[in-house]
Amino acid sequence: MELADQIAQYLVSGLSTGAIYALIGIGFAIIYNSTDIINFAQGELVMLGGMFTLFSLNVLHLPLPLAILFAVAAATAVGVLFERLTIRPLKSPTPLALIIITIGGSILIRGITMMIGGKDTHAIPAFSGSEPILIGTATILPQHLWIFALTALAITANKLFFEYTITGKAMRACAVNRRAAGLVGIDVKRMVLFSFAISSALGSLAGIIVAPLTMTSYDVGIMLGLKGFCAAIIGGLSGGIGTVLGGLLLGVLESLGAGLISSGYKDAIAFIILLLILFIRPQGLFTKAQTERV
């Protein structure tokens, strides 16, 4: 294999992993943009997507499309319940308290899943076969195309929702200034609940669609969540193209780093990028400082 061919494969592999990170990153961004919370339980919702699909396939014996719907519904219910039981009752919702709550929540969700579902890793069948597709000399799997398509769909729908619907605008208003939003008659608590519902649905959908590639177990959420968070940070926590570019960039750098430098430093590369961006450009790579997000 010539070097050029190798680099082509690194790029393709990087883009396909990057799309996964991007999809998960958008979930972080949505909650952040309407509530100012970084929801560290987002990774667990990704995990729940995969685990609920597995449950409905193997225990309820549903066909795949129904299993996916069931899994998204169930994970969304968990997300909503999570908001109701932990975020809403808080008397003085300081960002620090909220973040710590989401971390606690993620450990709880992971623990319960382990108790009920066991510690084994499980495979989920690919949506449309696993015959590799050739792109030049590089190969990807049909499942990667599903991921690309879903990511594109998710950011478009997201953009439309936040720009052009009343609810979307109301949610953005809550992020800009909670009190002011409340004063003009926006039901802030409802908007927070909405944002949790949307990001849970999106997170679980991401979990479902990546599960045939990454397999699923109670603890896949940790690493996927962290990588998604990196993607969101690189993209300046924007709910749109920024996070997607962030995810793709992260995926490509990881893959090139593993291929051209050393695979031992693959994860280190991701987290060094994260730290550098937090130090140098905390507003993200693609946004100007202090501009409106979304």
Partner 1 sequence: MRKFQILVLLTVTFLFTAAALAAEPLRIGALFAVTGPASFLGEPERNTLEMLVKEANAKGGLRGHKLELVVYDTQGDATKAVQLATKLIKNDKVSVIIGPSTTGETMAVIPVVEKEKIPLISCAAGIKITDPVKKFVFKTPANDHVAAEKIFNHMAAKKQKSVALLTVTDGFGSSGREQLKDMAKKKGITVVADETYGPKDTDMTAQLTKIKGSKADAIICWGTNPGPAIVTRNVKQLGIKIQLYQSHGVASKKYIELAGNENAEGVILPAGKLAIYDKLKQSDPQYKLLKEYEQSYRKAYNVEASTFGGYAYDSFLLISEALKKGSAPEQLRDGLEGIRKMVSVSGIYSMSPTEHNGLDLSAFEMVKIVNGDWEIAK
Contact between 35 and 172 under an 8 Å Cβ cutoff? The reply is no
Footprint on residues 257-286 left by partner 1 (CB under 8 A): 258-259, 263-264, 266-267
Binding residue (CB under 8 A) for partner 1 from 22, 47, 140, 209: 140
Q: CB-wise, 143 or 238, nearer to partner 1?
A: 143
Q: CB-wise, 36 or 219, nearer to partner 1?
A: 219
Binding residue (CB under 8 A) for partner 1 from 60, 112, 121, 272: 121
17 makes contact with partner 1 (CB under 8 A): yes
Task: Tell me which residue has tokens 């319940």.
Answer: 81
Binding residue (CB under 8 A) for partner 1 from 214, 235, 245, 247: 214
HSE toward the beta carbon, residue 144, CA cutoff 13 A: 18
Q: How many angstroms separate the CA atoms of 186 and 182, rounded?
A: 5
122 makes contact with partner 1 (CB under 8 A): yes
Task: Work out the number of other CB atoms within 10 angstroms of the CB of residue 136.
Answer: 10
Q: How many angstroms separate the CA atoms of 73 and 205, rounded?
A: 10
Task: Work out the number of other CB atoms within 10 angstroms of the CB of residue 157.
Answer: 12
Contact between 203 and 39 under an 8 Å Cβ cutoff? The reply is no
* Nearest residue to 291 via CA among 250, 211, 254, 237: 237
255 makes contact with partner 1 (CB under 8 A): yes
42 makes contact with partner 1 (CB under 8 A): no
Q: CB-wise, 159 or 266, nearer to partner 1?
A: 266
13 makes contact with partner 1 (CB under 8 A): yes
Output the smallest distance, CB 217 to partner 1, in A: 7
Q: How many angstroms separate the CA atoms of 232 and 242, rounded?
A: 8
Q: Which stretch binds partner 1 (CB under 8 A): 165-173, 188-196, 235-243, 254-262?
A: 254-262
Q: CB-wise, 23 or 191, nearer to partner 1?
A: 23
Contact between 174 and 34 under an 8 Å Cβ cutoff? The reply is yes
Binding residue (CB under 8 A) for partner 1 from 101, 224, 231, 249: 224
Q: CB-wise, 143 or 195, nearer to partner 1?
A: 143
6 makes contact with partner 1 (CB under 8 A): yes
* Residue 132 main-chain phi, psi, to 5 deg: -60, 145
Q: Which stretch binds partner 1 (CB under 8 A): 31-39, 122-130, 193-201, 237-245?
A: 122-130
120 makes contact with partner 1 (CB under 8 A): yes
Q: Which stretch binds partner 1 (CB under 8 A): 57-65, 78-86, 182-190, 208-216?
A: 208-216
Burial class (CB in 10 A: 0-12, 13-18, 19+), 292: exposed
Long-range contacts of 162-167, Cβ-Cβ distance < 8 Å, separation of 24 or more = 162/33, 162/239, 162/294, 163/294, 167/191, 167/194
Q: Where are the alpha helices (DSSP H) in 187-292?
A: 188-214, 220-234, 241-256, 266-280
Residues binding partner 1: number (CB under 8 A): 40
Binding residues for partner 1, rule: CB under 8 A, are: 1-3, 6, 9-10, 13-14, 16-17, 20, 119-123, 130, 132, 139-141, 210, 213-215, 217, 219-220, 222-224, 254-256, 258-259, 263-264, 266-267
